[in-house]
Amino acid sequence: MSNGTAGNFTGPVEAIIFDNAGTIVDFGCIAPVMAFVEIFKRRDVDITVAEAREPMGAAKRDHIVQLVAMPRVAEAWKQAHGDAPTEADVDAMYADFLPLQVQCLTDYSTVIPGTPDLFANLRKEGVGIATTTGYPSEVMDVLSAKLAEQGIVPDAMVCASDVAHGRPYPDMCLTAAMKAGVKNVKACVNVDDSAPGLEAGLAAGMWTVGLACSGNEVGLSYDEWTALSDGERDTHFARARKGLDATGAHYVVPTIGDLAPVLADINRRLAAGEKP
């Protein structure tokens, strides 16, 4: 896989690398949040949904590490247990997280609207489809089966547990590109709803597109989102966009349903000799 120079690569896009929860499935990225809240509750420590969301995009064990390092959570843990959480505590919570997350997927595995049509069009155009996820392989095996039931089967899939470093490192994006048979990294587009996911795509030298409204930044279910007025949705988008824009992402749009014009523009820019 080459990284070339601006003058000798003019496209087109060869592959799109999608995150899973909040990007193509589980509108609002609800499943992991519920699991994180519950594993702390089982240890007599209450964390808020906002706290549970803050490290989103990281590998799930790393996510727990970041949660217990938060000053308020660390103090609540000390009040409940008399001391700071240990590596053994983190390991035990992660062990509990895996089956709990699988259980949550029963309720939060619906494909986000716009995904099937986009995937079908990418197939027709010969564009590769790969996915990455902060879920470990044990969880993703279950989710992959549920996605397949809805017609979503990527050409390649990479879990955080498959690589040395999770997001924001570029490991998953680059591994997915290689699995998809991409010839030039500038021909890849990384699509994610989280800041660490976008930072990973940028670190990999790819075009990056943030999805502001279907994932962690807004955090509403599809029913809650569609119940909002146009003005309320615009307000949420404007706020969420600021957080994703701050990563340096090339584009930020509301959901995967808004991606087709972005891909057309990336092809235009590639044809003009631009690079990510």
Tell me: cis bond preceding 168? Omega within 30 of 0 counts: yes
d(CA 104, CA 225): 20
> Strand 207-211 to strand 156-159: parallel, antiparallel, or no bridges (unpaired)?
unpaired
Q: Is 46 marked as binding a ligand?
A: no
Number of H helices and E strands in the chain, helices first, is 12, 6
Q: Is 96 marked as binding a ligand?
A: no
Spatial CA neighbour of 138 closest among 186, 93, 102, 183: 102
Task: Report, as residue numbers or ranges, the catalytic residues.
Answer: 19, 60
Q: Is 44 marked as binding a ligand?
A: no
Strands (E), 68-165: 128-133, 156-159
**Three-state secondary-structure class, residue 86:** coil
**Three-state secondary-structure class, residue 11:** coil
- The residue with tokens 């599809």 is 222
Binding residues, by number, are 19, 21, 193
Binding site feature residues for Mg(2+): 19, 21, 193
